[in-house]
Structure 1
């Protein structure tokens, strides 16, 4: 049954659900306002200039260190490893306490402090690395550097090949394929990957204290060091496991995979 109520002297017809002509009017007005907002947003995004246009005009500039192509932040002379990466690793390895920190690389550092290091590094303030008091912030910054590269450390054009290499048997054939992939890397990628793996192997030497065995480091660095090309990013769960396998093999079989580099060192 419908009842007639009175609000502020104005007669109103209420329905059993509590709605009214007045409510319907308000709802319609809100819908119109939302429609106008959506229309304005569509016009705004349609007129917004593309990123490459902003770069050409000098309105937007890439950061000096983070978010760049690897070769852009590597020195010209060998070994071609970014200064930021070398400085971070040097500081992490500077004390046994650092290397024995529980959950090294697995534990997340304070995000605001990680971003602070990023900003300071992009302003050419390398001292922020030595002055940092939280080792997890430093490891978080190093991981962020690799995650934000425009192309992964192990390039996208080798993604399918290196994932397939993990399944090759026997071991000798797998090692040989990994050797071929490593030799196919551009110099900057090769030198930086080797430098990072050597560091991570030093981390595993303290695994009784930091609890970071090769398997744990592989979980952390698998999706950090390689990812699928954009058009292939549909099997994320499967790729994630295989990415971990790649890093696990690179660490466990490091000496055999990089044997040619070691021969070169002996000759030198």
Structure 2
């Protein structure tokens, strides 16, 4: 630093001052710094002349002098480069010229940036090398794990193949044992049959017996044949002729079921504190109706008087009886003469003749039924008209519902049902005149 402040030419200074500038201001007895070891006497000779040509020669000389130091290791290399740069900077700073000093300063700045760039590149190279080493280690670990997994998969596949073979062997052994067992059973059965004494008839197999039973059911006799053979008989009350039904003790020609049902219906209808809606229209309890049917067929008419039997169940039993008798009380063919009539007096006259022409049982039963219907329409609390009642009882009296009727006959049946309902309505309203 002393040589930069001193502007005296070097040839005018003393030797002590020159030594101080060469040693970098160090005291006597101290070793010179490494940055000044590269300075040679020839450089001092060049520094004495402050020409630009001499300075360029000094730079070339510095480069040639510092190049052998690059053969050292990485740490000595960076140290030698820094030392050469510092030496060149210090040497050039001895120039007395201001222009030469500025050019040397810029040169030192560029060299410093080059040094820093070199050091950064060196650090980046070290980091990349470390990263590559870690990745190589990781790759080696993954490769080891992959090889272990492949070995495990191969082992499991071999075990599975062995299990499949074992299962196939066991299955074959089971089938073989089953065949042997079946063969032994057949052999034992055949041996028993050969040891058994031979009779005149051979025992049929199960298949032959099943075929015979099947043919028997296909060729079973009809109901009419069973009736002729007295195997199957009609029910005592339901599904039979009205003449065969048990008659009442008081009304000798009227079935007992009609008398009992009508009396119980009228009694419940009159004693009801609330209006009964839909009488003869609403359906009763089907299970109770069927139970009463079996009880009446067993001649147990007292079952109709049970406390749990309501009025709709009783009307259902009566309608079932009228609907299931073999012949209706009045056939539709007999009522066809009534269909063409329009005037009421003519209708009453025709109905009188029609009723008188009926069998005694049918006539007396109809008289009692329509008397019962007429009484229901005159109960004070209950409000039921002959028109609505006739719509409910007409199918049971005339058997208008025909089995196997075609679709094209439906409109004709509906028209006939309306006319027959009008006939029943007149017989309810004018009961006393028709049945006198």
Whether the 8 Å CA contact 1:98–1:135 is kept in 2: the answer is no
Q: How big is the shift at 1:242?
A: 2.2
CA distance in 2, matches of 1:48, 1:194: 43
1:97 matched residue in structure 2: 271
- After the TM superposition, which residues 75-154 of structure 1 pair with which residues of structure 2 at under 5 Å, given as runs? 75=247, 79-95=252-268, 96-98=270-272, 100-133=275-308, 134-154=310-330
Whether the 8 Å CA contact 2:323–2:399 is kept in 1: the answer is no
Q: For residues 184 and 141 of structure 1, do their structure 2 counterparts lie closer, same or farther at Cα, with a shift above 3 Å needed? A: same
CA RMSD in angstroms comes to 2.8
Q: How big is the shift at 1:57?
A: 2.3
CA distance in 2, matches of 1:202, 1:78: 18
User: Deviations for 1:167-209, whole angstroms, at most 9, x for unmatched residues?
Assistant: 4243222211111000001000000000000001111113763
Q: How big is the shift at 1:216?
A: 1.1
Larger radius of gyration: 2
Q: For residues 115 and 229 of structure 1, do their structure 2 counterparts lie closer, same or farther at Cα, with a shift above 3 Å needed? A: closer
Moved more, 110-119 or 162-171: 162-171
Q: For residues 51 and 253 of structure 1, do their structure 2 counterparts lie closer, same or farther at Cα, with a shift above 3 Å needed? A: same
CA distance in 2, matches of 1:183, 1:63: 29
TM-score w.r.t. length of structure 1: 0.71
Residue among 236, 240, 243 paired with 1:68: 240
1:21 matched residue in structure 2: none
CA distance in 2, matches of 1:217, 1:207: 16
Structure with greater contact order relative to length (CA < 8 Å, sep ≥ 6): 1
2:84 matched residue in structure 1: none
1:244 aligns with 2:421: yes
Residue among 56, 61, 66 paired with 2:228: 56
CA distance in 1, matches of 2:312, 2:402: 30
Whether the 8 Å CA contact 1:215–1:248 is kept in 2: the answer is yes
2:361 matched residue in structure 1: 188
User: Deviations for 1:7-64, whole angstroms, at most 9, x for unmatched residues?
Assistant: xxxxxxxxxxxxxxxxxxxxxxxxxxxxxxxxxxx97785231211011223322111
CA distance in 2, matches of 1:232, 1:163: 21
Whether the 8 Å CA contact 1:163–1:246 is kept in 2: the answer is no
CA distance in 2, matches of 1:92, 1:132: 13
The gaps in structure 2 that reach 5 residues or longer are 1-213
Q: How big is the shift at 1:114?
A: 0.6
1:255 matched residue in structure 2: 432
- Bigger helix share: 2
The gaps in structure 1 that reach 5 residues or longer are 1-41, 262-268
